[in-house]
Amino acid sequence: MNVRAATTAPLLGLISTLAFTVAFWIALGVHSALPISAQSAPVELNMTVEKVDKAESEDIYIGDPFIITLSATYPPDHFVIFPQVPSRWGDDFEVRSQSSQPTTQNEDGTNTSSIQIEAVLFSTGDIPTPELSVAIRKPDGEIVNRPVKPIDVVVARFLPEGDESELKDIKPQAELPVPLDPLSALRDREGLAMLAVLGGVALAALAVYLWGLMRAPVYPDLSTPAETAIAELDRIAALPLETDADFKEHYTLVSDCLRNYLWGQFSVPAPELTTRQTVRGIESSDIVDLERNALRQILEECDLVKFARFLPDADDAHRVIERSKDFIRATGAVSTPGQEPVAVGAEPA
């Protein structure tokens, strides 16, 4: 037997084993480093850019408005929630408007939704879009975030030949009137006397106002968190429901009202929590499972209208008010005229 071959074979086997082990752990580490939302949500995100006015040139120059289209293709059992881009997006982008486009159904059964962002830039070069993420609501109710891969917006360094927007000569400085000297009235007796009279009148008016505040009775607010919340729901119910924006505001106000009620009644910081965290936060209270499930269903329905562009009808909007009132009456303390507030399950004395 060849001694050299007998010595080399185990060494090659050891090197191959080590190489496979290192490659396996590197692949596992890269896979684990990916965000959970990027591994789990079967949603395709795409972003493109084009100039608004392409009559003379398709190149984008300083100050030219352009459209960034962010689209998402997703299964029909998912919801996509696009972000609201601020007017000052990053350090360079100035956003003029943002609009949602109609959702289309593809031949493979998936849906495609998109938004268009109109913006301008006042610097040149290849400028990448700032960080942006899209929220995805999965069938089990979990909401995950997917980052959007940035794209470069190319702003040309030179204006096209013959462009009338070339730099012009600087105009002469405008002549502004010299402001009056506020102390000039103190240099003559008549002005000084007028200022003294006006000052005396102002002091007298202030004294009368403060005296009225001191004599006005102070009535303490004896309403309970439940009564405050029901009064707010009555106010919301009276608002008009004519446009899609009216429905979104309606459900947003209902959600805010319930979260403020939970903060006042159970000291649960619901205005700062997600729906799932809010429901979990009241598990230690005396609220029964039936009422807790009712609260979860109302808040999830409000989230769908606020974030997923779900459009209910007027009957659904009125029913969510009554369901919210039922939850508050079942978990809070409501008084009737001439009686003290009575807690849930208690018998009035």
List, for residues 77-99, the tens digit of each pLDDT value: 888 888 988 999 989 999 999 99
Q: What H or E segment, with its residue span, contains residue 286? A: none
**Cross-strand bridge partners of residue 99:** 116
Distance CA 56, CA 147 (A): 35
How does DSSP classify residue 83? -
- Burial of residue 305 (number of CB atoms within 10 Å: 0-12, 13-18, 19+): buried
- Both tokens of 227, joined, read 């009564």
Q: Which amino acid is at 59?
A: D
Nearest to 227 by CA among 340, 69, 65: 340
Distance CA 237, CA 246 (A): 11
Q: Which domains does the chain have, with CATH numbers?
A: 38-155 (2.60.40), 225-331 (1.20.120)
Distance CA 88, CA 100 (A): 19
In this model, does residue 281 exceed pLDDT 80? yes
Question: Are residues 84 and 70 in contact, defined by beta-carbon separation less than 8 angstroms?
Answer: no
Entry pTM: 0.39
- Burial of residue 121 (number of CB atoms within 10 Å: 0-12, 13-18, 19+): buried
Q: At a CB cut-off of 8 Å and minimum separation 6, what does 332 contact?
A: 224, 225, 226, 227, 229, 261, 265, 343, 344
pLDDT of residue 320: 95
What average pLDDT does the segment 239-251 reach?
Answer: 91
Question: Are residues 314 and 326 in contact, defined by beta-carbon separation less than 8 angstroms?
Answer: no
Distance CA 152, CA 219 (A): 61
What average pLDDT does the segment 273-291 reach?
Answer: 87
Tens-digit pLDDT profile for residues 159-211: 666 555 555 555 566 666 656 555 555 556 676 677 778 888 898 889 888 87
pLDDT of residue 347: 41
Tens-digit pLDDT profile for residues 309-345: 788 899 999 999 999 999 999 998 755 444 444 444 4
Distance separating the N- and C-terminal Cα atoms of the chain: 105
In this model, does residue 299 exceed pLDDT 60? yes
Question: Are residues 117 and 98 in contact, defined by beta-carbon separation less than 8 angstroms?
Answer: yes
In this model, does residue 229 exceed pLDDT 50? yes
Per-chain mean pLDDT for the chain = 79
**Cross-strand bridge partners of residue 145:** 135
What average pLDDT does the segment 257-285 reach?
Answer: 90
Q: What H or E segment, with its residue span, contains residue 155? A: strand 152-155
Nearest to 196 by CA among 184, 181, 207, 185: 185
pLDDT of residue 3: 46
